[in-house]
Structure 1
Amino acid sequence: MLPTTQLALLRRIATEQSTNRAPSLVAGVVRDGELVWSGSRGFLDGTTGETPDDDTQYRLGSITKSLVAAMVLRLRDEGGVDLNDPVGEHVPGTALGDCTVAQLLAHTGGITAESPGSWWERSPGGDWDALAATLTAEQRKHRPGRRFHYSNVGYGVLGELVARHRGTGWLEALRAEVLEPLGMSRTSPHPRGRHAPGWAVHPFADVLLPEPSPDAGAMAPAGQLWSTVRDLARWTAFVGGHTGEVLNPDTVAEMREVIIVEDGPQWTAGYGLGLQLVRAGGRMLAGHTGSMPGFLACNLVDTGTGTGALAMTNTTSGVAILGLVVDLISIVDDYEPKLPEEWRPSAVDPALLPLTGLWHWGPAPFHLRLLPGGWLHLGPVSGNGRASRFQPAGTDEWVGLDGYYAGETLRVVRAADGTPSHLDLATFVFTRTPYDPAAPIPGGVDEDGWRTG
């Protein structure tokens, strides 16, 4: 980062820490998969003495959920879990078993927000059997799939799902399959070494109260983990697509897709598969916020520019943690906008060149373009209408990746001499000329052809 950018970032976190009276606050910026800036303000005890750095642990809270979600998606990609499976097929013994795995990941299962009994975030947690015994029909608050209803309990269930598939605790599986491969050696269920104590700040006086941090037991997958700026930067890079060997980047892109929105048609807050989604200032951001007594945390990535940021503080409330992280991303991209990659020719399969150019869906003209890797892009000439990218799926077959045709198969039908005759896409026939009578247009083409009236 340029000195001017660094000063602007430091000023932003300094203003947040001072104005909103945080004992301490740390932050970082990620670009191209790397931590490129970090900063801190305040003191760990809120007054004097030790200051935090990028290796000081803070509690992540619900960012833990995103890591658990990555484990569930690993199981899906391996074939052990289908996201449409009722969760009861994997974790029997509760009255909530007809909720699907995807619904629990996206908080659309309609189940209670908090575990029954004592406030779980400030109470020692019991084991899975104790939690399962409380998950009766009364804990269903909405019809599954009807609406967004944030559920910490749902992630307790997903943690048990991971544990049963791996034959070990969810945390052991997470450590072996996610944390260690990503180099997140300072992420743990309890503080180790240098860490920030959790504080509550009095709303009307500049005094502090220590907050407890018990083990949440079976609810731990909802918010147990502690981490550092360095480790959370690695996870932020992961959310942005630098996934290493943990997940395929396409799977993480799927996690970032909007499943449900929280605030209506002009939404600013939504949820995907274990990731919160935010629209702010023309940006689409993915990541997660976290809060536990004594701590707030947030990490987000701009899915357009790839710039990410994170922040953690040891206060129960007061710091506008999400807005702070959004501002850090905006500062970086405004002060140091990334230049687009230089265009250069790429190798293509010469056999695909005859497919390119103008095609028609009925009278509507479309362009078919080649993309790197043998992918195709089909979109309307006018720019208004259904456009999708397609990934190779076999000889003369491609599968849609996005837009209206996501998941649909595009087939090239060839004439006897091998030249492309027409395209068949989800029953739609695309021809080189509008309504080509030589093609199998559904419903046929009027034998008198085009006319003036």
Structure 2
Amino acid sequence: MTEPWEDLLPGTRRALLHRIAVAQTEARVPSVVAAVAREGRTVWTGARSCGAEHAPDGATQYRIGSITKTFTAVLVLRLRDEGLIDLADPLEKHLPGTGVGEVTVAQLLGHSAGLAAETPGPWWERTPAALRPELVDVLGERPVLHPTGRRHHYSNPGFTLLGSLIEAVRGASWEEVLRREVLEPLSMDRTTVRPVAPCAEGWAVHPWADALLREPVEDLGLMAPAGQLWSTATDLCLFAGFLVEGDEKVLSATSVAELRRPAAAPESGQWDGFYGLGAQVIRQGGRTLVGHTGSLPGFVAGLWVSPEDGVAAAVLANATSGLAAGSVAAELVGIVADAEPRIPEPWKPLPEVDQELLALTGPWYWGTQPVGLRLTADGGLELRPLRGGGRGSVFAPAADGGWTGLDGYYAGETLRVVRRPDGSVSHLDLGSFVFTRGPYAPDDAVPGGVDEAGWRGLGG
């Protein structure tokens, strides 16, 4: 049953239309189309164009440029999840003879392999793929510019290598594997490697006059995994939902979350965002957005989703430059999230309560630092500081009877309940840290012991 708040309010819809109308006018682009999804469902589409012959809608294809990289990254993680590769594998293990085989799969995904940003030779986005028939033509004589793994340096050839890796492991073309393993399972029927009508035509707009120049449309060949795809605003909103929730037909939520984790430190002055394993993450308007931006001659694109708000937006335009599609998409997310905040799920008590776990809840002390341990709705444990800042994590039960940290400082660390010979709880052990029921009680198992004189005043 559709809840009444799933449809946007008239004021919100007008604000969205106003934003893209301003964008189309001020950026002087032939057309712009946008879509907004909430909780995985498209709730608004809008478009502005310079004339009836350019009128697009949410089903009109545009080139999406580097948003393609996130699709390629999903295919690589699928290989990892199947045990066919490891992200720590050197490229040479699966794709020998490239000359850059010491770089790892993870470094290529996160743009920390040190490879050049572009290919040698003429501008690859505007020239035929026949000029780059082999990987050596993509990489050139000096493919590595920076120490491997030391810094973030965006690399289009790096994703060409990942596409070739996929083809080598799967024994099929990148295009075929993408269609079979991602696009069809996610029902992204209007996302294709080559344009399928209705599709927008790419234009350049003269910087000093209101005049247009048609841009060439080249098949990118080996560079396709870095930026080949055509898609629609509504298809991209489907993909945005996948970037938050995952889909067991394609990639689990746990694996999708890896796309969003920092792969390398951002460059100085760019601390408002970072690159994960094939996805960009930015902070804007006080919220975290996941997605990617893209551009190719004649087209710009932006896709962002706020996992916390459950709101996604895609913006596509058919001009080489002028419109910051990513910025507009981020603003559309903010318009909806601010005007119509997410309605939280009703609080519900646990279906069952484990009495032994319940007895562990409440205050504990790491030295003199008070922390609280509580049961979570999914049957896990959560440890958080009760006063000031400090370390905390959520824990899930492990097979050996302990608890494994899922986030924060204690991610991957083990929490154990240590009992006395009589079965009563002595303390909690968390990666060698001891948590006791009181601060430095004489009989507690505090490493280093406790002063026998106990607590005292200044003159004691």
Displacement of 1:251 in angstroms is 1.9
C-alpha spacing 1:261/1:282, structure 2 compared with 1 (3 Å): farther
**Does the alignment pair 1:423 with 2:428?**
yes
Structure 1 letter corresponding to 2:409: Y
* 1:248 paired residue number: 252
**Does the alignment pair 1:289 with 2:293?**
yes
Structure 2 letter corresponding to 1:389: V
The C-alpha deviation readout for 1:331-384, integer Å capped at 9, x for no partner, is 111221222222121223333112211211122121111112221111111141
For residues 89 and 129 of structure 1, what CA distance do their matches in structure 2 show?
A: 22
CA contact (8 A) 1:33 1:242 kept: no
* 1:5 paired residue number: 12
Aligned pairs for 1:67-78 (under 5 A) are 67-78=71-82
* 2:314 paired residue number: 310
Aligned pairs for 1:169-180 (under 5 A) are 169-180=173-184
C-alpha spacing 1:434/1:31, structure 2 compared with 1 (3 Å): same
Which of 366, 381, 387 in structure 2 is aligned with 1:376? 381
Displacement of 1:389 in angstroms is 0.7
**Secondary structure at 2:117 match in 1:** coil
**Does the alignment pair 1:393 with 2:398?**
yes
CA contact (8 A) 2:219 2:228 kept: yes
* 1:66 paired residue number: 70
With structure 1 as the length reference, what TM-score do the two structures score? 0.94
CA contact (8 A) 1:297 1:321 kept: yes
The C-alpha deviation readout for 1:196-225, integer Å capped at 9, x for no partner, is 111111111111111112111111100000
* 1:228 paired residue number: 232
**Does the alignment pair 1:20 with 2:24?**
no
* 2:39 paired residue number: 32
Displacement of 1:129 in angstroms is 6.8
CA contact (8 A) 1:186 1:231 kept: yes
CA contact (8 A) 1:86 1:98 kept: yes
**Does the alignment pair 1:84 with 2:94?**
no
For residues 296 and 134 of structure 1, what CA distance do their matches in structure 2 show?
A: 23
CA contact (8 A) 1:263 1:269 kept: no
Structure 1 letter corresponding to 2:114: G
C-alpha spacing 1:214/1:128, structure 2 compared with 1 (3 Å): closer
**Residue correspondences, number:** 450
Greater alpha carbon shift after TM alignment, 78-87 vs 399-408: 78-87
C-alpha spacing 1:148/1:444, structure 2 compared with 1 (3 Å): same
* 1:354 paired residue number: 359
With structure 2 as the length reference, what TM-score do the two structures score? 0.93
Which of 406, 410, 413 in structure 1 is aligned with 2:415? 410
CA contact (8 A) 1:56 1:228 kept: yes
* 1:432 paired residue number: 437
**Does the alignment pair 1:442 with 2:447?**
yes
* 2:107 paired residue number: 103
For residues 75 and 422 of structure 1, what CA distance do their matches in structure 2 show?
A: 42
CA contact (8 A) 1:115 1:131 kept: no
Q: Tell me how large the CA RMSD over aligned residues is.
A: 2.0
The C-alpha deviation readout for 1:257-305, integer Å capped at 9, x for no partner, is 2333435377223111111111111111110000001100010011321
For residues 254 and 430 of structure 2, what CA distance do their matches in structure 1 show?
A: 23
* 1:333 paired residue number: 337
Displacement of 1:90 in angstroms is 2.0
For residues 124 and 141 of structure 2, what CA distance do their matches in structure 1 show?
A: 20
The C-alpha deviation readout for 1:171-209, integer Å capped at 9, x for no partner, is 211111111111001111110121011111111111111
For residues 246 and 87 of structure 2, what CA distance do their matches in structure 1 show?
A: 23
For residues 269 and 414 of structure 2, what CA distance do their matches in structure 1 show?
A: 30
**Does the alignment pair 1:41 with 2:48?**
yes
For residues 353 and 172 of structure 1, what CA distance do their matches in structure 2 show?
A: 52
For residues 89 and 242 of structure 1, what CA distance do their matches in structure 2 show?
A: 29
Unaligned runs of 5+ in 1: none
C-alpha spacing 1:265/1:212, structure 2 compared with 1 (3 Å): closer
C-alpha spacing 1:438/1:74, structure 2 compared with 1 (3 Å): farther
**Secondary structure at 1:332 match in 2:** helix
For residues 38 and 312 of structure 2, what CA distance do their matches in structure 1 show?
A: 6
**Secondary structure at 2:101 match in 1:** coil
Greater alpha carbon shift after TM alignment, 339-348 vs 220-229: 339-348
C-alpha spacing 1:129/1:405, structure 2 compared with 1 (3 Å): farther
**Secondary structure at 1:139 match in 2:** coil
Identity over the aligned pairs, expressed in percent?
53
For residues 56 and 49 of structure 1, what CA distance do their matches in structure 2 show?
A: 13
Aligned pairs for 1:137-286 (under 5 A) are 138-264=142-268, 267-286=271-290
